[in-house]
Amino acid sequence: MARIVCDENKCSGCLACVVACMDQHYEETQEDAVSLRLYEKKVFPSGLVRYATRSCLHCTAAACMEACPMQVFERTENGFVVAANRERCIGCKKCAAACPFDVPRFDAENKVVKCDGCAVRVACGLEPACVRVCNTGALKLVP
């Protein structure tokens, strides 16, 4: 089960990972792009501010895969759960309702989008785009 994890103690909140992800998955002129990374800012009562980004955990027992009536999702040989058959998506959002981590998002066409771990990059021996640009080392690919 490959996934990308974020060490909140190292995340600076720079959003470079979000931008790199969007650059990796969308054309420059695409105005309806949906971020595949979720960004969170946490403010504690003490005033401490922590940032974190997260994406699909590519669960071993992926609830999104089980819930999808159209078999949109497939698992790659690297362990990533990807929307390989996105054209089949009917926008029912059953995958989103089933995901305990609120990961699947939907684009302007009401079709699912989610982190694929940059599976193509990883298959070629490269790091996912978000991990590659993280200047604090907060993001790591966990095989």
The residue ranges of every structural domain in the chain are 3-142
pLDDT at 142 over 80: yes
What's the confidence (pLDDT) of residue 122? 86
Closest CA to 118 of 1, 15, 13, 2: 2
What's the confidence (pLDDT) of residue 78? 87
Task: Domain 3-142: give its CATH architecture.
Answer: 2-Layer Sandwich (3.30)
Task: Count CA atoms within 13 Å of residue 97 on its CB side.
Answer: 7
Phi, psi at 109, each rounded to 5°: -90, 5
pTM of the model: 0.86
